[in-house]
A and B are shown apart, each in its own frame.
Chain A
Amino acid sequence: QSVLTQPPSASGTPGQRVTISCSGSSSNIGSNTLNWYQHLPGTAPKLLIYHDNQRPSGVPDRFSGSKSGTSASLAISGLQSEDEADYYCAFWDGSLSAGVFGGGTKLTVL
């Protein structure tokens, strides 16, 4: 069981806006910057959001991140079929020198 809790699944129809939550505590989300990764099975995971809400170059602005207190969210607007993937929140715990991933959320585009 991860210290970061994500819903196991989410879904939406093309064009919709969906959000995926990631909840933790003051010792993890509350005191570290959070990242989000997209993983299509059989491929290399991709960095979507870093520092809570920053997009690497090349990531569409349909993807956005936010954080408040001990919870964070990934929002995907204008949902597309190619967005169907697993999404993970994660952070680097410098005090433990260890990476921490949420359990992942499987997004289905209906």
Chain B
Amino acid sequence: QVQLVQSGGGVVQPGRSLRLSCVASGSTFSSHGMHWVRQAPGKGLEWVAVIWFDGSKKNYIDAVKGRFTISRDDSKNTLYLQMNSLRAEDTAVYHCMRYNGNLGAFDIWGQGTMVTVSS
């Protein structure tokens, strides 16, 4: 059974940094593009970032460009989201997801991790 297990959330002051991790088990991690999405309190899902299966390309929503960095370590089956210069509006539950090219959809999701940016 393929699983994505997340860690790294917490409470952080504005302007500080946090790194989220997402470990994949039971799957061919290196064959898939990986994504992050977030859900702010009382809001819907918002796509945040993507990294291609081979790490050759990355993209972000405008709101996090220049502050967040998505990366992957295929030797550890792990996806990361480095979040710098955090703002109150980054407060959200963050989910990692696997993109299945055959389905054209996010078929496996992490359980989510809460990030709270507050002074």
Mark A residues whose CB is within 8 Å of B. 2, 33, 35, 37, 39, 42-47, 50-51, 54, 56, 86, 88, 90, 92, 96-104
Contact = CB atoms under 8 A, between A and B. Distances in A.
Contacts of B73: none
Interface in B6-57: 35, 37, 44-47, 50, 57
11 contacts: A35-B104, A35-B105, A43-B111, A47-B107, A50-B104, A51-B104, A88-B45, A90-B105, A97-B50, A103-B44, A104-B45
A104 B47 CA distance: 13
| Contact-residue bracket for chain B | 20 to 34
Interface of B: 4, 35, 37, 44-47, 50, 57, 59, 61, 95, 99, 103-107, 109-112
A54 B44 CA distance: 23
